[in-house]
Structures are given as C-alpha cells and as structure tokens.
Amino acid sequence: MNLAGLQQMKREGKKIVAVVAWDYQIAQIADRAGVDLVSVGDSVGVNLWGQQEGEITLDEMLIVCKAVRRGVKRALVSCDLPLLQSAGAAVRLVKEGGADLVKLNGTPEAVRAVVNAGIPVFAEFHGGEATPKLVEQAKRLEDAGAALLDFRHSGPEAGAAVVRAVSIPVLGGLGGGPWLDGRIRMAHAAIGYAASNLNSNIENYANVAQITLKAITAYAEDVRAGRHLKGQRPA
C-alpha cells in the first residue's frame, strides 16, 4: 500500500481501513487482516503506560514506531509526532522509526514545515464549528501539503462536505462515520483489550479483557493444584 493507492481508493469510493497499534504483535495481526493503514498513536502513553496526556517523548514514540514497523509488511505506517516537536523530529520518525508518514495535530504552517522537510503528513483536525469553517480548514491543510486528514467528531453534514471539498482521503477516528472516506480506531479498543472491558457491556468485536482474565485465572489454578500447564512444551 502507498499514498497513491489510498487516493485511488477515495476516487473509486472504496473505504479505507486504518487501526491504531502500539506493538509488534498487534501490528502483525492487523497487517494480516488486510488493513490499509496502521497508525502508531501517542495514545500509547495514556492507554498502555498510564502516562498523562502529552507526557510521551519523541524517544518513546521512536521505540513504539520501530516495533510496529517490524510487524507491518503491507500496510502504510503512520506515526504520531509528539506535541511541540519540530520538523526535525518528523524526519527522525521516518528515518529511524521507519514510518511512511507522520501524523500531527497542528496548523497549516506546521504541516507545511514537515512537508518541506520531505515527510508526508497525516493531519488531524476536529469538528465543533460551522461546516463552512471546517471545510475551509480542511482545504487549508490540503493546500499546505497534507496527504491525509483525520477529521475527528465530524458528523454526517460536515464530514460529507469536507470529503467532497478535498481531493485527499478523509478518515475519522472519534465521532467518525460512514460519510467519510474511511475509519480509524485503536485496535485495542476494537478487541476489548482494556481492563475497563471486564465490567463493560459496550459491544466490541471481541472482549479480550474477559478472555484474558479467564485464562490467567485458569493458569493460576493449575499452578496451585500442581497440574501441567496448557500450551507449555514438554521439558
């Protein structure tokens, strides 16, 4: 997959599938499932490591990006640029981390600076304003050189208007919908990985948290009972 391929999918009306992944194993599984884009999100800091919002560093993002890159063979890999980082940091995410493009939440000027450094940009912006203003914002990001847009909290009216107004693919994370060119979601959310899923009735595609609890509980019972462990190779 490449950016030209994603643009061709937009022209043909084919939906783009993107997931956020933070580790080698999930990256391999997502790539095998045939997703088009794997985004290495800075959300790893909050959701996997228990950090505060915006606490993650460039060096930490490089570690995660490298791990995901090792697991992805087919899909494009995007990596989030941490807050307050320069175009030089974007270059490092590509050259050292192996990202194909860099995702940032910033102004057209910030997008242009990264693009001028030779790095494709996945630009994020948010709904909540009048549709004409959001369309104008999307066009400014496209004019600055963004290759993809992540339109969060788009809504069917503004989302559809932005999709029509720009030639680049428009994906949606939080609050996105079928009116966009594609969707992006954390793989861990889709599979119900978080501990919060243990007591949740929210419908996901799986509930890995409950399966994991059951498996580790059974493992503990076998150890305490002196039984051979399931899945363990004989000595």
Predicted pLDDT of residue 109? 96
Sign of CA dihedral 180, 194, 71, 86: positive
Judge whether residue 106 has pLDDT over 70. Answer: yes
| Average pLDDT of the residues in 17-43 | 97
Residues 6+ apart with CB under 8 A from 120: 3, 100, 101, 102, 147
| Average pLDDT of the residues in 145-157 | 96
Judge whether residue 104 has pLDDT over 90. Answer: yes
Q: Which own/partner pairs from 18-21 qualify as long-range (CB within 8 Å, at least 24 positions apart)? A: 18/171, 18/182, 18/183, 18/184, 18/185, 19/184, 19/185, 19/186, 19/187, 19/190, 20/184, 20/185, 20/186, 20/187, 20/188, 21/68, 21/71, 21/187
Predicted pLDDT of residue 192? 93
Percent of residues, the chain, with pLDDT higher than 70: 99
Predicted pLDDT of residue 83? 83
pLDDT band at 85 (very low <50, low <70, confident <90, very high): confident
Whether this prediction's pTM lies above 0.95 is answered by no
Say what angle helices 108-116 and 87-95 make with each other, to 10 degrees. Answer: 50
Mean of pLDDT over the chain: 94
pLDDT band at 204 (very low <50, low <70, confident <90, very high): confident
Task: Give all domains of the chain, ordered by start, each with its CATH number.
Answer: 3-189 (3.20.20.60), 191-235 (no CATH)
Predicted pLDDT of residue 235? 64
User: Do 101 and 3 touch, CB atoms closer than 8 A?
Assistant: yes
What b/e sequence results for 41-62 when a residue is b if at least 16 CB atoms lie within 10 Å of its CB, and e otherwise?
Answer: bbbbbebbeebeeeebebebbb
